[in-house]
Structure 1
């Protein structure tokens, strides 16, 4: 999980991160995607090296990302078993701009400060790829869209305002529940936008 700040910040302020692997968000996404896709397709679990997929980062120079081949399709070809399935669904973290252009990605908390107000939000930014199981071409790639994007601070992906319940005792569990809610509400919308599920 990342903590990002933008707007009026101290010189030299950088983002922070903390491990949230104990929250089981990867397992939640797999479980929900399996349930949603299983209504229409035969879904099969695959074996893969999670660290190899997590290590892939987009270049900070956008044109480089447009020119290079999608690195996830090569990982599916070489690091996923079994091979020979019709298609593979790959869900990875996505990136968005916050305020003055600072990049935020994946799961985290973002704060934006101005002279008159401070804004905060939680985010669960991810993208879904469908990779052909025979040619390993990317059939479709889509970032999860914003939900209820009516707040003052907006980003391109599932997010919500930070409320007072995030502070204090048991804040970690409330934060985990809020992030899980973003994923649970946004994944059906994203899969439906990709025409992988039918209006569920």
Structure 2
């Protein structure tokens, strides 16, 4: 009986490995078939202001408009440059507010079995239709300190009994949506650029030194957020096999 059990376990493991290999091959072949893409970005209209830690339990988060920073325009411009070496990138029209209004990330494990909410928006709200694929870049979430969610572009403060820490973050995720079937071919959240700081967050972030006067008006803060995006986007697209090596 033990031998039979081992055989069943080995057979199951082999089936899982074959299934994973087939899925990877299908995804790779679908990516290789893409010739034309459109880019949708909807992460940069507002900045969250979050506080967490032992002395800030229950404090409410705030937000500030940063639409004047043009972060989504920056993302589209950089993504066009990066993807243009491999694909024909075509400008598309879309309602940014519609994409930004979806706050529940379909990348998180709890949502893996749900229908991706961005598929229908690409089908109904993006023009022109008929491109091979659409690259959709939207806000992602992460946990800060005692479990508070932080999302998208933000400035976060974490307090302990001994010290205060602060960081800026630009959390986003990238989807490749088939332009014919509207299936999600690939999706990935941008990974941390540096995970060695005192505060760690699951996405591009960096420490702040407390010298920013105001999150909505500081040019230094805007430049720091833009730097997180411009350094992380090539890494994310490369991890998704959209640029760099095939």
Superposition TM-score, scaled by structure 2 size: 0.76
**Please, which runs of 5 or more residues in structure 2 have no aligned partner?**
1-46
Per-residue CA deviation, residues 15-61 of structure 1 (Å, 9 max, x unaligned), is: 01000000000100000000000011100011111111011121799
Per-residue CA deviation, residues 54-110 of structure 1 (Å, 9 max, x unaligned), is: 111217997762332001011001111111110000000100000111100000111
| Equivalent residue pairs, number | 200
Residue of structure 2 in register with 1:163 after alignment: 209
Name the SS of the counterpart of 2:89 in structure 1: coil
Report runs of 4+ in structure 1 exceeding 4 Å deviation: 59-64, 168-171
Per-residue CA deviation, residues 153-188 of structure 1 (Å, 9 max, x unaligned), is: 000000000024424899610000000000000000
Aligned CA distance change for structure 1 residues 103 and 173 (closer, same or farther; 3 Å): same
The answer to whether the 8 A contact 2:107-2:189 is kept is no
**Please, which runs of 5 or more residues in structure 1 have no aligned partner?**
none
Larger Rg: 2
Partner Cα separation in structure 1 for residue 215 and residue 109 of structure 2:
45
Superposition TM-score, scaled by structure 1 size: 0.93
Residue of structure 1 in register with 2:73 after alignment: 27
Partner Cα separation in structure 1 for residue 107 and residue 186 of structure 2:
22
Shift of 1:194: 0.4
Aligned CA distance change for structure 1 residues 20 and 177 (closer, same or farther; 3 Å): same
RMSD: 2.4
Name the SS of the counterpart of 2:221 in structure 1: helix
